[in-house]
Structure 1
């Protein structure tokens, strides 16, 4: 439910096809924050997007796997959680072949 709510709020999208694929600790030994990676397929725009929190500012981009990997190489995407999710995405795509 939280993932669907965040998709609605931050992306203006929803799906009936959401699958949890992995979870990991962001900074073991420092924090117990656990992040979960989902794959969402058959995306649909929501009619009325939830408003962002007052302190949230987002820049949303749609990228192919190759574009995301290039942004990692170029240092545009440089946070560990995103790099982990992109790498996992690549592993899932390789399994499909």
Structure 2
């Protein structure tokens, strides 16, 4: 393995950028965050689960192959009662598996 591949990008500088190029009708994915590099590289068929992880991923992907939806919203504040109801629902759901 080359020293270049062993280099680790400082955590404070790691990023993932997903943008849509309207003219090309393609998504552009750039990431140097290891968790996202693995996720997108496997999803796009660039590596298998057991392959060595590349340092970065920089790919254009056709919009019919990859779709993304992003939204920003205020985090929902749950009361203790709502939290318990949801917790019970999840417990029952996992017991059914």
Q: Under a length normalisation based on structure 1, what TM-score does the superposition of the two structures give?
A: 0.22
From the CA coordinates, give the structure whose radius of gyration is larger: 2
